[in-house]
Amino acid sequence: MQEDFIHYLWKFKKLSGQELQTTQGKSIVIKSLGTHNFHSGPDFFNGRLEIDGQEWAGNVEMHVKASDWYLHGHDDDPAYDNVILHVVWAHDAEISRRDEINIPVLEVSNYVAPELIKSYQKLFAIKNNQFINCEKDYPSVDDFKKAQWFEKLFFERLEERSFHIKTILEQTHNDWEALFFQLLSRSFGTKVNNDAFDQLAQTMDTATIRKLSKDAFQLEATLLGQAGLLNEPKKDNYYKQLLNEYAYAKAKFQLQPAHTPMKFFRLRPANYPTIRISQLSMLYHRSPQLFGELLLAKTREEIHKLFDVKASKYWDTHHVFDKETTGRDKILTPAFIDLLIINCIVPIKFVHAQFIGKDKTEELLEIMYSLKAESNTIIDGYKKLGKITNALESQAVLQLKTNYCDVNKCLTCDIGVSLLRDN
C-alpha cells in the first residue's frame, strides 16, 4: 500500500456517502476536502470537517501507518500544529501534536470497496519486462482524457525547464538576446557538444556579437577561434584567412576562448561543430537581433523562414579543414529546425510570456501540435501502446515516463486515476 492511494481516496471523494467515524467512534462529516499540497507540510490544506457535531477548520495529514507521524518527525514540527485529522490505512498508534493533544484518526481501510483495492493492486502488480505499470490498460483510456493530460504534462515540462532559463536570465541581467544566444548555441551543439557550445556562447557578450555580425566572415572566424578550432597549423588558405581575422578580433574585443574542446568523434558530418558554427554565424549575420524577430514569429512556418540559412560557401565542399568533399549546401534542415523549436524556442517563448505577463498558451500549443513527434526509446515505447503523432505528445510522454511511470506516481497521473475512478 502507498500513501498516494490514501490521497486518491480523499481527493476523489471515494469516502463520500459513508458514515465515517474516528478510531474513537466519533462521527466525521467532510465539509471541504481542502487543497492538495504537493510540497512540504500537511497533505491537504484548509479542510473543513465536522467531528462529533463540532466544526473544525485546518489541515489533514495522511500516512500508511499512524506511527509514521512519529517516524517523519511531525510531532516536533510546527508546520503540523494545525492538523485536525490524521487519515491512515492502518491505525497502529495514537498520535499527538506538539501540544500533546491527540489528533482524531480516520482508518480508511475500513471504508474501501474490495473491488477498488483489487484494481489498485492490479495497477501496481510487478510484471516481467513491463514498460509501464498500466501498459495493458493504457489503450483503453479515452483519447480525450489523454489529450487533456498530455497538455498538462507538456506545460509541466516547460515549467521545469524554465528554472534553468530564469537562472541564466538573472546571470545576464535580463538580457534576452544574450540568453537566447546561449540557449540557441547549446542546441546547435546537439547532445555531444552542447556544453562546449554553451561555454562558447558565454565567451562573447551581446554587443560584441552584434558588431561582429555585420560581417559574416568576421563572426565565423571569431566563433571558430573562440571554440578552439583554429589552434593547429593548416595548409588551407581559408583557414589562414580565418586565423588572421580571429587574431584581429580577439585583440580588438579582448576575448578569452572557451576551454571545453569540441568533439567530432561519432558525429554525422552535418553535426560537425565547424558546420554548425558557420550556420550560426550566417544566422546572426542575417538577423543580429534574432530574438526580437523570433517573438513576432507565431507559427512553425514563420520560424522556419527565420532559420532558412546555410553555412558559408567554403563549407559546401568541406566538413573540416584541409579535406575537400563532394559539393553540397550545408543548410539548416527542417528536421533540425524543428528540434530547435522544441528544445530552445518554445521554452524561451514560454518564459518570456511569463516575464511580460502575457498568456501565449494557444500560440505554443499550435506550434507544438504542428511539429512531428520525436523518436527515441521512451517515445517509441508509448507509440506501441497508442498514437503519438506530434511533438506535444512526444514531449508529454517523456515527462510522463520520468516523473510518473518510473517512480510509480500512478495515482497523481490522470491516466492512472482514470483507470481506478470507475470502480
pLDDT tens, position by position, 317-346: 999 999 999 999 999 999 999 999 999 999
- Rounded Cα distance between 373 and 384, Å, is 14
Q: Measured between alpha carbons, how far is 142 from 418 in angstroms, rounded to an integer? A: 9
Q: Is 52 exposed, middle or buried (0-12, 13-18, 19+ CB in 10 A)?
A: middle
Consecutive H or E run containing 28: strand 27-32
C-alpha span between 321 and 303 (Å, rounded): 31
Q: What is the pTM of this model?
A: 0.83
The cell numbers describing 107, all together, are 482508518
The tens-digit pLDDT sequence of the chain (423 residues) is: 788 889 988 988 888 788 999 999 999 999 999 999 988 899 999 999 999 999 999 999 999 999 999 999 998 899 999 999 999 999 999 988 888 889 999 999 999 888 888 888 777 766 667 899 888 889 999 999 999 999 999 999 999 999 999 999 999 999 999 999 999 999 999 999 999 999 999 999 999 999 999 999 999 999 999 999 999 999 999 999 999 999 999 999 999 999 999 999 999 999 999 999 999 999 999 999 999 999 999 999 999 999 999 999 999 999 999 999 999 999 999 999 999 999 999 999 999 999 999 999 999 999 999 999 999 999 999 999 999 999 999 999 999 999 999 988 888 899 988 888 754
102 strand-pairing partners: 96
Q: How many CB atoms lie within 10 A of CB 32?
A: 11
List residues bridging with 21 in a β-sheet.
27
Query: What's the DSSP call for residue 412?
Result: G
Pairing of strands 318-320, 105-107: unpaired
212 burial (CB, 10 Å; 0-12 / 13-18 / 19+) is buried
**Under DSSP, is residue 36 helix (H, G, I), strand (E, B) or coil?**
strand
- What confidence score (pLDDT) does residue 309 get? 97
**Residue 423 confidence (pLDDT):** 46
On the 0-12 / 13-18 / 19+ scale of CB atoms within 10 A, 128 is exposed
